Every structure is written in structure tokens, then in C-alpha cells.
Structure 1
Amino acid sequence: MKSWPKTPAETVRAFEHSVPRAPAVVRKKMFGYPAAFVNGNMFASTFRDEIVVRLAEDDRAALLETAGAKPFEPMPGRPMTEYVAVPPSFARRPADLARWVERAHRYAAKLPPKDTVRPRRVAPRRKATGAKPAARKAAPKKRAAAKKRR
């Protein structure tokens, strides 16, 4: 499997400095890249050489009017609908980046919380056929270790 390139250190630093230091903000990896979550919802992340934010519809439209901003597609043809890749120049403009990350944080904080614990796998149920289940065969009996000599 082909691995994705790492995010440049300058971009990671810009991302880390832009994420709010609120108690509800959790930092962890997504797709192997640094990401920020609130109530289990991701609101900002790095991906390859990009910084990505999750925004409300009006904010998305406003950011997409900025030169260099584009809809986020982790794979070609697979857009993540609420996410926008910010212009690369924002990594060198901390005030602009922080403003959009804060908007993303406010939007994600209003979303319903996600359950952060993965549900247990449940074994599939047997089909109801009306027939009794087949009886289990007894395990084969062990042979005597040695026959008695006569």
C-alpha cells in the first residue's frame, strides 16, 4: 500500500498554533495526520501539504472565494462536503488561519456529539427455521495408553 507524504513541518506548526486551547478540544490523528476534534467531531486537520477546516455553508462559500482555497478531496472524486482546504499562504498568515480554524471550531461545537467509543461487534443471529439445531457429536474417546498384558 502506498503511503501518503508527511505534512511539511511549517504547515504542522501553523496548524498547531491555530487550534484553540479550549478544554473540549481533543488533538489526535486522522488519516495519519494531526487533527482537532470537539465533541467527537473533527473541525480542522492537516492532510499532505494542506490545512483543512470544516465549516458551515455560508463560511464555506466565503472561504472558497479566497484565492487558493478549494473543496477538500482526500482522494480524487471523493470530496468531504463540509470541508475546505485553506489557501497554502495561510500557513504564513497565522491571524487569517486562526480566524478560519476558530469558525470551524464554533461550527463543529454546535453539531451533535459523536460517540467516541466504538460499538462492540455483535455476532449475527441464527436464522429461525423452526427445526431443532443439530445435536453435537461427542468427542472421540481416548484409547487406553497401553493394553493390559495377559
Structure 2
Amino acid sequence: MAVGVSGDDLMVRVGPDATDEVLGRPGARIFDMTGRPIRGWVVVAGSAVTEDEALGEWIDEGHAFAASLPPK
């Protein structure tokens, strides 16, 4: 899985090594739906991905990480 939608927000799998870097982007925050942060995933506010270019960049980020994983 590379990306998902939760309400108005976008969930993006970026990998543990990229988490801190992408948290500096507009609208990004740590993925924490159960009270336990999940490293390697971020949530991006829907308001930060209203433009096609911004949404596409996040989708590309998630796809790149997912594509780097070995097949199951």
C-alpha cells in the first residue's frame, strides 16, 4: 500500500528513513490513529493537497517507497 484516504486527509507510506524529512512539508503530521504513532507513515491534511501537483507529489512519494519493497 502506498497511499490511502481517511476522511479528508491523505495517508502516505514514506518509509521510516524519510518520515522526519517529509514532516517538514505543509500539512504533514505523524500518522497516529490509535494513540501509537506509526513510523514510516504520515497523514497529510486534505487542505494541503487540493492542487493536483501537490497531490501528485505525495502519491509519487508513496508509490516510490512501496515500489522499493520486495514483492510479497
Contact 1:50 1:86 in 2 (8 A): yes
1:86 counterpart (19, 44, 50): 44
Count of residue pairs brought into register by the alignment: 71
TM-score, normalisation: structure 2: 0.80
Give CA-to-partner distance per residue, 1:88-117, whole Å, 9 cap, x none: 323312201111211210111111222xxx
Which structure has more relative contact order (CA 8 Å, sep 6+)? It is 2
Aligned to 1:45: 4
- 1:102 is aligned, of 44, 54, 60, to 60
Q: What's 1:72 paired with?
A: 31
- Distance in 2 between the 1:43 and 1:53 partners? 6
DSSP 3-state at the match of 1:85 = strand
Sequence identity percentage: 32
Larger radius of gyration: 1
Runs of 4+ in 1 over 4 A off after TM superposition: none
TM-score between both structures, scaled by the size of structure 1: 0.42
Choose between structure 1 and 2: higher helix proportion: 2
Tell me, in whole angstroms, the C-alpha distance in 2 between the residues paired with 1:65 and 1:103.
14
Give unpaired runs (5+ residues) of structure 1. 1-41, 115-150
RMSD: 1.6
